[in-house]
Structure 1
Amino acid sequence: MRRLLNTLYVTTPDAYLACDGENVLIKVESEIRFRIPVHNLEGIVCFGYTGASPKLMHLCCERGVALSFFTTYGKFMGRVTGNVSGNVLLRRTQYRWSDDEMISSRLSRRFVTAKIINSRAVLHRVLRDHSEIVDNKLKDSLAILARMPERLERAKDVNAVRGIEGEAAHLYFSNFNNLILIQKEAFQMKNRNRRPPTDRMNALLSFLYTLLTHEVVAALESVGLDPQVGFLHRDRPGRPSLALDIMEEMRPHFADRLAVTLINRNQITAEGFNVKENGAVIMEEGTRKEVLNAWQKRKQEELTHPYLGEKIPMGLVPYVQALLLARHMRGDLEDYPPFFWK
């Protein structure tokens, strides 16, 4: 079992990453502001234009520390990786399976089924705890979502699975505002949008999905799978399709619930976002740091994994799911068990 480590998030625009022996250094104007042993890290995520020394990049590659670069607004720019790891036979199996319509359809159904069940659980929770304030249409939406896993089992191909997933996502996000108990007007969502997000809720969700993507990509690479070759999401240059596949089952519990919690607890407010002239909504640095702190704390929380039956930190779930998928591809498991939130 992989030990839960930490991800270092660098948000200072003029910071420079270097190393001293086995230590990662953060420098600002040649002054060392932070030092941490590399063995305490599982990843480094840099927001904004942050330089990094070739020696530090080499150290990260040797120690298997994912080093990723994003723009200030959370758009992915690039990742530094070492030699391709893992069994070449595992990756060849992955590529063959990705080209097989029946296998792709079956795995896609697993990802989307878990996403729908977990999304329904998030909505059902607010109905249970705050039934007096939710919209009347929520109960109808929950009933429709409850029937969708059965429809998925009858889906004949990946396109049919994608169609059902799109219906479920529309239903889910059309009821998402019910989850917001305070600051309702400031964080209203009219629809799910991105590139750029045009409201505060979408800006927050997009940022959290970016963090989750980093975690899942690192997890897949750690077990020897190719993050870019998926089953539900089509191949596209630069797109981590397999990471996006596995993310589907984790988004509701990992990202969506955290976003709602941050708003309902007043940990973030409307003042922490800027609205640009073109309508794009940008998260300010102070809000971004608050979200990152909450994300790190969330990763430390424990849950009982539905397949393993063991308590593990949430931050290990992407690694467990990547390992289970790899074991299925090697023939050790008859089917892939997706993550269901209980």
Structure 2
Amino acid sequence: MKKLQNSLYITRDSAYLHKERETLLVEQTVEGQRKKLLQIPIHSVGNIFCFGNVMVSPQLMGFCGENGTQLAFYDAFGRFQARVVGKQTGNVLLRRAQFRSVDSGESHIARNIVVAKVQSSRVVLQRHLRTYGPNLDISTVVGRLRQIVAELKNQTDPERMMGFEGEAAHHYFGVFNQLISSQAGFIFGGRTRRPPKDPVNAMLSFMYSVLSKEISGALQGVGLDPQVGFLHKERPGRDSLALDLLEEFRAPIVDRLVLTLINRQQVKPNDFTTDILGGIAMKEDTRRLLLQSWQARKQEEITHPFLGEKVAVGLLPHVQAMLLAQHLRGDLAEYPPYFHR
């Protein structure tokens, strides 16, 4: 099993990252003086995520590219901007199999992903009902999501699949506000993006962006092309396959993490700022808390529904990338998506 390497999140403005011998040095200029914030062995870092105004030396960029360490840049809202990509790796025969599968219009991979997403969304709602008691609105959505899963299982038309996926998301986020404790002080009026219009959306979009880049790195690690997807159409600069696999993790991983932080009142409404266009962004301390919580969540273990083995949450993207590669090679009859039980 792949070792779960450390992910390093840089959230301080004006931080400077560079390579010093075999260590990674993080510094920040404060009142004209350069202050060392962190120095660690560089080979112990699997991913580096930079948020806001962060500078990285060319030597460190080169090292990341040569050694497969993912280096990604985001703005203060958590929107992905760029990443350092090294030389192409992986089996060319696997990538050719991926392209043939996409070009042939095979629909079962996309269908399995959508079914897993809807099923996991339903389980999140069911867990809320078990914990907090009956709720007519949520129960109605749970029933409709169950119907959608049944209708999807024999579906082969990609357009109809996306229609069902869109309907399921509409119902799910329609009751999402009811999953938030009234004492927390947050109101979720519906899903908004680019920019998010409320703190809940800001946290969701931020974590979706972070996780999608980790999934992209996992796909490259097994030799797949993250830009060629089965569910999301190809678009220049978009990692469509990473977005495909992200659908499996939205509700059970990201949504539950955000809800936990809100309902435990670890984050508060005043932990966010609003720009002149109405976009909501997290303050630095809030962003740091979210990333620390995400790192802790990645260390937790779950039983994988297909493998039947204990797997760290942080390794799930790598496991799903491996399973997808095995299917494309012909070792598995179908791709088994991750779904929450």
SS in 1 for 2:311: strand
CA deviation string 1:55-85 (max 9, x = no partner): 1112112221100011111111111011111
Q: Name the aligned partner's letter for residue 284 of structure 1.
A: K
Change (3 A) 1:276 1:51: closer
Please list, as runs of the form range in 1=range in 2, the aligned pairs for 1:299-318 lying within 5 A after superposition: 299-318=298-317
Offset of residue 306 of structure 1: 0.9
Q: Name the aligned partner's letter for residue 245 of structure 2.
A: I
Partner in structure 1 of residue 152 of structure 2 = 152
Partner in structure 2 of residue 191 of structure 1 = 190
Report whether the alignment pairs 1:55 with 2:59: yes
Whether contact under 8 Å (1:68, 1:79) holds in the other structure is yes
Aligned length: 337
Report whether the alignment pairs 1:15 with 2:15: yes
Partner in structure 1 of residue 285 of structure 2 = 286
Of 72, 87, 90, the residue aligned with 1:86 is 90
Partner in structure 2 of residue 161 of structure 1 = 161
Report whether the alignment pairs 1:3 with 2:7: no
Offset of residue 39 of structure 1: 2.0
Report whether the alignment pairs 1:114 with 2:137: no
Q: Name the aligned partner's letter for residue 210 of structure 2.
A: L
- For 1:61 and 1:183, the matched residues in 2 are separated by 46
Q: Name the aligned partner's letter for residue 336 of structure 2.
A: P
Whether contact under 8 Å (1:273, 1:283) holds in the other structure is yes
Report whether the alignment pairs 1:37 with 2:36: no
Partner in structure 1 of residue 242 of structure 2 = 243
Q: Name the aligned partner's letter for residue 141 of structure 1.
A: V
Whether contact under 8 Å (2:45, 2:69) holds in the other structure is yes
RMSD over equivalenced CA pairs, Å: 1.2
Q: Name the aligned partner's letter for residue 251 of structure 1.
A: R
Partner in structure 2 of residue 253 of structure 1 = 252
Partner in structure 2 of residue 211 of structure 1 = 210
SS in 2 for 1:43: strand
Q: Name the aligned partner's letter for residue 231 of structure 1.
A: F
Offset of residue 269 of structure 1: 0.4
Q: Name the aligned partner's letter for residue 128 of structure 2.
A: V
Whether contact under 8 Å (1:182, 1:263) holds in the other structure is no
- For 1:156 and 1:91, the matched residues in 2 are separated by 24
- For 1:40 and 1:164, the matched residues in 2 are separated by 43
SS in 1 for 2:142: helix
Q: Name the aligned partner's letter for residue 75 of structure 1.
A: R
Partner in structure 2 of residue 65 of structure 1 = 69
Whether contact under 8 Å (2:76, 2:281) holds in the other structure is no
Whether contact under 8 Å (1:109, 1:152) holds in the other structure is yes
SS in 2 for 1:205: helix
Partner in structure 1 of residue 334 of structure 2 = 335
Q: Name the aligned partner's letter for residue 85 of structure 1.
A: T
Whether contact under 8 Å (2:7, 2:49) holds in the other structure is yes
Offset of residue 307 of structure 1: 1.1
Change (3 A) 1:249 1:52: same
Of 65, 75, 95, the residue aligned with 2:99 is 95
CA deviation string 1:202-242 (max 9, x = no partner): 11100111111121011111111111110100111111100
SS in 1 for 2:18: strand
Whether contact under 8 Å (1:203, 1:281) holds in the other structure is yes
Q: Name the aligned partner's letter for residue 91 of structure 1.
A: R
Whether contact under 8 Å (2:111, 2:156) holds in the other structure is no
SS in 1 for 2:188: coil
Identity within the alignment, %: 47
CA deviation string 1:18-51 (max 9, x = no partner): 0112211112134332111122111000001221
Partner in structure 2 of residue 24 of structure 1 = 24
Normalised by the size of structure 2, how large is the TM-score? 0.96
5+ residue gaps, structure 2, are: none
Whether contact under 8 Å (1:8, 1:45) holds in the other structure is yes
Offset of residue 138 of structure 1: 1.4
- For 1:277 and 1:49, the matched residues in 2 are separated by 19
Offset of residue 179 of structure 1: 1.2
Whether contact under 8 Å (1:126, 1:178) holds in the other structure is no
Whether contact under 8 Å (1:205, 1:259) holds in the other structure is yes
CA deviation string 1:123-161 (max 9, x = no partner): 0111111115x3x22111111101112211232311111
